[in-house]
Amino acid sequence: MKMIYFDNGATTFPKPMSVINSVTNAVKYFGANPGRGGHKLAIKASEMVFNARATVADFFGVDNPEKVIFTLNCTTALNTVIKGLLKPGDHVIISSYEHNAVVRPLEKLKERGITYTVADVIEKNNDKTLENFRNAIQDNTKLMICTYASNVFGIKLPVERLCALCHQYNILCCVDAAQGAGVIPINLSNSSIDYLCIAGHKGLYGLMGVGAIIVNCDIIPDSLIEGGTGSNSINYVQPEILPDKFESGTNNFAGIISLNAGIKFLKARNIVNIYKREIELISYLYKKLDRINSVVLYTDMPDADYYVPLLSFNIKGRDSESVSEILSTRFNIATRGGLHCAPLAHKFHNTTKDGAVRVVPSVFTTKKDIDMLIYAVRNIK
Amino acid sequence: MEKFIKLSSTTEAMRAKNILRKYGIFSKVKKTTAGNSTSGCSFGIVISENNDKAIKILKEHGITPFGQASGDENDIF
């Protein structure tokens, strides 16, 4: 039985053939260390990394590729922004849908006298959400962090309005776009987002092990780690120039090349068309699951205005991990059960006890795949 | 005669090359062979014409060269 993969929220699979080929070629023919040596292969590798940087910059509407900082993943990107900006006495506002990639660094920073407030997101009521964030602002609020969309419930946040609100109070804005990048068009050229953190291996279809911070303001955080950058190497002190300040040590060359190919794949297929199609698939799934008595759904029916293509559900009286396991073992369907590293979101929806089964389509998902899932859910007793 | 324009990083050198190409000025990214005693590893671009124009264009795009050299870069600093 062919496996049907719906765990695209964790990482997209399969990867496009163009991505696979780009990695094979990069490793086979151009595998020198970029930005270090001066020989032809090293210069060629540097050029390939730069081209990837330029592709990311262009995709997110940034004029200068130096503002694209490659990281190991979105978590490292978020940690870099959070720990590089905040000082003892600072206050942070986060949303009720934040991932542990945001919550855990902030919990750690409590040891240094940094505090945070959780502002509740109200589904399909952006005005109320904005009011909750406004009420959370304090005199010492330095940073607002919010996810572009919940990785558990697919609910989109009014990111631009939140960032515009924060700028009125001189509060910096960092957006966790792990679930948004590559799924929703994000253009920073006319955006109030100051730091956009992305994962390369989810909606952008690159390999695991690559992410990025895209800096969209003049305030540059302190570096999280220091080391060799291939530049100004006689100096013991970390260079201040971007992206070198944040890219100590050898980058994930293959991952970066794959990200370039992944974005080109998306551009060729048109991200808006992909989004529309995936929302249609998820809405179809919602309607069908809503008719099954044993199924619990946690949101209104997803639409393009308020949701990304993601649906979480459960079966009454069951733990989500057991449902996910049955789907895998009996029907060869890959979903993600549990808490999705986002206990804050589950607490907000009262789903901490049983978690939820998450379904995320990709560009390769078909209506037949969705029908198979519906059939499987109907047959779980 | 070829001129070497020293820049702050390999990324900046790649960006400079791309910017100049849009103005019809072709260049090559190269690692310095001189000046290591003062700055260590560093990169720049080699151009064979329109040196002054290239510098002006780069400055207009926020790229400030550290220095220039002719030929084998031995007189870079």
ipTM of predicted complex: 0.83
Interface of A with B in 50-69 (CB under 8 A): 50, 53-54, 64-66
For residue B76, the model assigns a pLDDT of: 41
For residue A233, the model assigns a pLDDT of: 85
Length of chain A, please?
A: 381
Q: Which of B8, B29, B33 sits opposite A46 (nearest CB)?
A: B29
- Which amino acid would we find at residue B28? K
- Minimum distance, in Å, between the CA of residue B32 and any CA atom of chain A: 8
Local confidence band at B40 (pLDDT 50, 70, 90 cut-offs)? low
Whether residue B74 is predicted with pLDDT greater than 90 in this model: the reply is no
Q: How far apart are CA A152 and CA B54, in angstroms?
A: 51
CB A56 within 8 A of CB A263: yes
Which residue in chain B has the smallest CA separation from A66? B11
Is A229 at the interface with chain B, CB within 8 A?
A: yes
Flag if A239 and B62 touch (Cβ within 8 Å): no
- 10 Å CB burial of residue A39 (0-12, 13-18, 19+) is exposed
| A66, A68, A69, A238, best to mutate vs chain B, most B CBs in 10 Å | A66
Which residue in chain B has the smallest CA separation from A244? B9
- Which amino acid would we find at residue B38? T
Tokens for A180, please give them: 């948004």
Q: Which of A64, A235, A241 sits opposite B9 (nearest CB)?
A: A241
Whether residue B39 is predicted with pLDDT greater than 70 in this model: the reply is no
Peptide bond preceding A65: is omega within 30 degrees of 0, i.e. cis? no
CB A354 within 8 A of CB A314: yes
pTM of the model: 0.95
Interchain CB contacts (distance < 8 Å): A and B? 73
Local confidence band at B75 (pLDDT 50, 70, 90 cut-offs)? very low
Which residue in chain A has the smallest CA separation from B32? A38
Which residue in chain B has the smallest CA separation from A234? B40
pLDDT along chain A (381 residues), means of 10: 95 98 96 92 96 98 97 98 98 98 98 98 97 98 98 97 98 98 96 98 98 98 96 90 96 97 98 98 98 97 96 96 97 96 94 96 98 97 74
Q: Which of A42, A233, A243 sits opposite B11 (nearest CB)?
A: A243
For residue A158, the model assigns a pLDDT of: 98
Strand partners, A360: A7
Within its chain, how far is the Cα of A86 from the centroid? Answer: 22
Give the residue-averaged pLDDT of B42-59.
Answer: 90
The DSSP 8-state label assigned to residue A122 in this structure reads P
Whether residue B48 is predicted with pLDDT greater than 90 in this model: the reply is no
For residue B77, the model assigns a pLDDT of: 31
Length of chain B, please?
A: 77
Flag if A66 and B31 touch (Cβ within 8 Å): no
Q: Which of B14, B30, B42 sits opposite A232 (nearest CB)?
A: B42
CB B40 within 8 A of CB B74: no
Whether residue B72 is predicted with pLDDT greater than 60 in this model: the reply is no
Cite the DSSP H helix spans in chain A: 17-29, 40-59, 74-85, 100-109, 126-136, 159-168, 253-269, 271-290, 320-331, 343-348, 367-378
